[in-house]
A and B are shown apart, each in its own frame.
Chain A
């Protein structure tokens, strides 16, 4: 079983819809959970990070972590064509650990 699983997509949604992305993981030691956005031929951009379980909101983006199910989600409300990108989840067991575990990324296409 891979450490982090992420459906590669692509996921196509109409503009204004809610985008729902998720990752599952196997390592119960993970404590920090990150979401990155990567536009084509660009470096990943850190969107947000969450410590342990719970929700975190930043504008149109909401990250959720359910450690009991080993499942994390990212929701994008009122999606825009500019949200079309690949979204990667990443995880770390503790602060000071330099090795992040990344998902392979989920491609999102928002159709105008």
Chain B
């Protein structure tokens, strides 16, 4: 069966500090990978998605970036965090090019920027 991991689970960072969140998927190959942010009262916001190694699509212009160095690894980064970056960050995967509606989420990282 497939498993998705995210770490860290919780993070408190000062404004202006860098960020690196990691997501890995087990039990599947060539997944589509996604980064979402969930802010209170604002629903799920798609930040980035990737259909393959090194292929990143950005949905929202901001100070965040994503990378996919390996098939089942997805990284969310920032060089300098803003207060507005606080939120619940979720990684998700889907089985492939066709079943993109079938997205499975990880446990999430709760980020607080102080």
Interface check B58, CB cutoff 8 A: no
Interchain nearest-CB distance for B21 vs A (Å): 13
List the B side residues contacting A41 at CB < 8 Å: 88, 108, 110
Contact indicator per residue, chain B 83-114, by CB within 8 Å of chain A (1) or not (0): 00000101010100111111111111010000
Q: How far is the CA of A111 from the CA of B46 in the complex (A)?
A: 33
Q: How large is the interface on B (under 10, 10 to 19, 20 to 34, 35 or more residues)?
A: 20 to 34
Q: How far is the CA of A90 from the CA of B94 in the complex (A)?
A: 14
Is the Cβ of A102 less than 8 Å from the Cβ of B106? Answer: no
Interface centre among B49, B97, B105, B106 (most CB of A within 10 A): B105
Is the Cβ of B104 less than 8 Å from the Cβ of A46? Answer: yes
Interface check B61, CB cutoff 8 A: no
Is the Cβ of A100 less than 8 Å from the Cβ of B99? Answer: no
Interchain nearest-CB distance for B44 vs A (Å): 4
CB contact list, A35-55 vs B, under 8 A: 36, 41-46, 49
Interface check A59, CB cutoff 8 A: no
Give A contacts to B, CB under 8 Å: 8, 32, 34, 36, 41-46, 49, 88, 90, 92, 95-100, 102-105
**Listed A/B pairs (7) with beta-carbon separation below 8 Å:** A46-B102, A95-B101, A98-B49, A99-B46, A100-B100, A100-B103, A104-B41
Give 12 A-B pairs besides A32-B101, A43-B105, A104-B43 with Cβ atoms closer than 8 angstroms.
A43-B6, A44-B44, A45-B105, A46-B104, A88-B43, A96-B98, A98-B32, A98-B57, A98-B94, A102-B44, A104-B41, A104-B42
